[in-house]
Amino acid sequence: MKVSLNWLRQYVELPGSLTIDQLCHDLTMRTVEVEGAESPAKALEGIAAGVITGIQPHPQADMLRVCQVDVGMPEPAVIVCGGSNVRIGMTVAVALPGARVRWHGEGEPVVIKPTKLRGVKSGGMICAASEMELDGLFPEGGEHEILDLSDFPAKPGDPVALVLGLDDIVLEIDNKSLTNRPDLWGHYGIARELSAIYACPLKPLPAFVRPNGLPEYPVSILSTQRCRRYAGLVYEGLDNALSPYWLRLALWTAGVRPISSLVDITNYTMLAVGQPTHGFDRNSVRREIIVRNARSGEQLTLLDGQTLKLTPEDLVICDTEEPVALAGIMGGQRDSILEDTGEMLLEIANFEPIGIRRSAGRFQIRTESAIRNEKGLDPQRVDLAMTVADGLIRKLYPEAKLTAFTDRYPVRAEELKIHVKPDWLSTRLGRELGLQQISGLLTPLGFDIMRESDGLSVTVPSWRATGDIKYQDDILEEVARMIGYDQFDFIPPAVLLTGAVSQPRVLLERRIREYLSFQCGMQEVFTYPWVSRKYIAAAGIQPENCLQLATPPSPDTACLRPSLVPGLLATAALNMKYFDDFSIYEMTQVFAQGSTHPSEAGESLPLQRKFLAAGFVGADPRTLFRTAKGVLECLPRAVMAEPLSFEQRDKPDWADQKAWLNILLSGEVIGSLGIVARKTARAADMKRGQMALFEINADMILPLPSRSNKFESLPLYPLVEQDFSVTLDESVSWERITALIQGYVKSIGFIEEYRGKQIPEGKKSIMFRVRFGSEAGTMTAAQIDEKMRSIIKKLGSLGGEVRR
């Protein structure tokens, strides 16, 4: 919202020493965020008033003329000008070298330099309104016309910005910081805050004098829920023309385009007190005003030309026959103020905000009126608006008459009183406050304070009783912000030492991440909880089993992930474009149908489990599989959790036919590990490389207070290390070899596996290393030989042929 400082000054006399920076700071700290403050005069620097003293034709161009212009300097400026309306004696705006203008009102501003135009020197530019970006302020004027300032009191050389009264400051206020303060959506509301901040008086607006003995204009409110007040004022003897300059300037400065006097009056009223109003052409409105819900199928063509198909959700203003305006949002084209309107029906009404917001949202119409009405305005504000609008009409049209008047206000809002305990206020503020101080802070904001036996009774002004202020805590906020949040000392909180924080599950989660990232060299990623159908399908998940979003980011991403696999496939496919070898993981919640009650029985949430998934991309699937398995095998010890085991029970859809395992904890499947199947990789557009993947329900991993292994004494005598290479049937697994030998040796370690030329078909060669020793002494060669023979014999029982 744009706020003009000159406009504010009509309502409040600010301290003379106050700087703009200070004002912005104070308003930001106490009330609303001021995003910027700029003078409209700034853009016109270097542009001066000039009087044309001579005009000659341009020797080379019919459309151009060479003008002598008195710009207050000893010599007149010679300027080539193409304006069709240029004449001797005319006061014009001259952009002198160094000033910035927009060529023909378009593009970025350019700096004026002395130049030659078709061979004639030109020391500046005589500007059209659009070239100074003032076309909003001067809506009349043809395409080739320069701005005529002859009606303004200006001496040659005067800065045009001053001549036009642009020596103002426009504050840009962040609309978001205003959402809860409907009272601030006009200059008067901001002025009230300033008057409270600087303890300077706010000028009261004169009360609207209710006319006596005037006929009523027929107004019926059929939906009193949605229209809380409706005032209709009929004025005759008007003439809808260009507004006087001061009115146009006021609107233009506040960012609203001047249109015509009657429209400008409604807009000025809104910008002054924040109350939207609407002007109807009295003679277009048939007989009466009815405020009601629209009927299904009714249509309304708005001022901007679009035709709406209405529903009973929409509130409309109707005449006898049909809707003439979308209530509180925008007027209809047929009945709103027309170019030749001479009699106006002025609507000043209060609407219930939710309906306004819904209609505006449904039709995607964001008017200044809708923005204000949807905040929830106080119905009493209609009185202020009547004062301002009536005053303007009398000022602009002294001959005009108010000929009919209606003010329907079926349910008056009750006065809101809040009981406040001063002790409570002092404790929560962290400082002692007396009644005098509290009163001094709140009264300027319109609060009325009365002492009661056990505290204070604070009457909330109508413009704050719109939901904004309800409790004593709201009063505390008013007091605190008026003192200034920066005026409070930092008070250390009283600390209660209540035992150390111990949260094993929180720690476990962090350990898992740190283990994967720092010990396993993996990169953590985050993906969205909604996943594209392509990857859902690639992972072999049925979309109908997924929870769905009602309004997803895109039609393709309605499914909420029941697994982290689709996101991981997508992420892997993306990164395969740039990298050959990488590993990634994600640990977060996944969603499934179900029913849980984390906080109360009345609330049923779906099943939400924290999963951990990891992907390993590279060239060799066997290595990838073993890498993934290794990460899982070492995880429990590293993160201090119950150990995991592996078994083939139930193949996940995404896994390769051969290379997969389920991950088990205490005999229960809690996840799967495998190579990504070829069909999955193809469906996920994984173009290069292979991928191993595991997914595990991290909620099932049980944290232990420490690592689970026991200390083993160091061997007293040296261990013997021996390598074996044994040729075995493919069907003999490593697990069987270890099971067989384990009891005889201290340790057994896999070295490598070999298939190839030297090995017959259907066989493999396995190389491994064993360590053994004796508790009694260093083993002798004979003892070692005997041990080796017994191991070889055992391997023989597996059909193994040992090569040493």
Q: By CB under 8 A, what part of segment 390-449 binds other proteins? A: 424, 427-430
Question: Which is nearest to 290 in space by CA: 221, 380, 379?
Answer: 221
Comparison of 496 and 782: residue with beta carbon closer to other proteins: 496
Question: Which listed residue (209, 497, 776, 781) binds other proteins by CB under 8 A?
Answer: 497
Question: Which listed residue (122, 267, 369, 583) binds other proteins by CB under 8 A?
Answer: 583
Q: CB neighbours of 660 closer than 8 A, spacing ≥ 6?
A: 648, 651, 652, 672, 673, 674, 675
Output the smallest distance, CB 421 to other proteins, in A. Answer: 9
State residue 403 phi and psi, 5-degree precision: -110, -15
C-alpha to C-alpha distance for 360 and 374, rounded to whole angstroms: 9
Q: Does 525 bind other proteins (CB under 8 A)?
A: yes
Question: Which is nearest to 169 in space by CA: 253, 295, 230?
Answer: 253
Instruction: Kindly state the tokens that stand for 289.
Output: 């005003």
Comparison of 54 and 361: residue with beta carbon closer to other proteins: 361
Output the smallest distance, CB 543 to other proteins, in A. Answer: 12
The string of DSSP letters for 109-124 reads -EE---EEETTEEE-S
Q: Is 533 helix (H, G, I), strand (E, B) or coil?
A: helix
Query: Is residue 54 within 8 Å of 88, Cβ to Cβ?
Result: yes
Subset of 443-482 contacting other proteins (CB under 8 A)? 467, 471, 473-474, 476-477, 480-481
First to last CA, the chain: 87
Subset of 113-152 contacting other proteins (CB under 8 A)? none
Output the smallest distance, CB 588 to other proteins, in A. Answer: 7
Q: Is 85 helix (H, G, I), strand (E, B) or coil?
A: coil
Subset of 602-661 contacting other proteins (CB under 8 A)? 602-606, 608
Residue span binding other proteins (CB under 8 A) among the ranges 130-138, 270-278, 285-293, 541-549:
541-549
Subset of 149-188 contacting other proteins (CB under 8 A)? 177, 179-181
Q: How many residues bind other proteins (CB under 8 A)?
A: 92
Comparison of 403 and 532: residue with beta carbon closer to other proteins: 532
Binding mask 263-282 for other proteins (x = CB under 8 A): --------------------
- Cα 527–chain centre separation: 20
Question: Which is nearest to 475 in space by CA: 499, 501, 445?
Answer: 445
Comparison of 370 and 661: residue with beta carbon closer to other proteins: 370
Output the smallest distance, CB 231 to other proteins, in A. Answer: 25
Output the smallest distance, CB 461 to other proteins, in A. Answer: 18
Output the smallest distance, CB 575 to other proteins, in A. Answer: 5
C-alpha to C-alpha distance for 112 and 95, rounded to whole angstroms: 7
Comparison of 75 and 486: residue with beta carbon closer to other proteins: 486
Residue span binding other proteins (CB under 8 A) among the ranges 109-117, 135-143, 511-519, 689-697:
511-519
Task: Identify residue 739 by its one-letter amino acid code.
Answer: A
C-alpha to C-alpha distance for 506 and 568, rounded to whole angstroms: 24
Output the smallest distance, CB 699 to other proteins, in A. Answer: 11
Query: Is residue 745 within 8 Å of 771, Cβ to Cβ?
Result: yes
Question: Which listed residue (11, 138, 405, 591) binds other proteins by CB under 8 A?
Answer: 591
C-alpha to C-alpha distance for 329 and 344, rounded to whole angstroms: 19
Output the smallest distance, CB 408 to other proteins, in A. Answer: 24
Question: Which listed residue (296, 301, 443, 523) binds other proteins by CB under 8 A?
Answer: 523
C-alpha to C-alpha distance for 733 and 744, rounded to whole angstroms: 19
Output the smallest distance, CB 45 to other proteins, in A. Answer: 20
C-alpha to C-alpha distance for 423 and 438, rounded to whole angstroms: 12
Comparison of 492 and 743: residue with beta carbon closer to other proteins: 492
Residue span binding other proteins (CB under 8 A) among the ranges 120-128, 317-325, 445-453, 542-550:
542-550
Output the smallest distance, CB 560 to other proteins, in A. Answer: 8
Output the smallest distance, CB 452 to other proteins, in A. Answer: 17
Comparison of 164 and 516: residue with beta carbon closer to other proteins: 516
Half-sphere exposure in the Cβ direction for 403 (13 Å, CA): 13
Binding mask 347-386 for other proteins (x = CB under 8 A): ------xx--x---x-------------------------
Output the smallest distance, CB 464 to other proteins, in A. Answer: 13
The string of DSSP letters for 593-642 reads EEEE-SS-TT--EEEEEEEEEEEEEES-HHHHHHHHHHHHHHHHHHHTB-
Comparison of 93 and 624: residue with beta carbon closer to other proteins: 624
C-alpha to C-alpha distance for 428 and 479, rounded to whole angstroms: 11
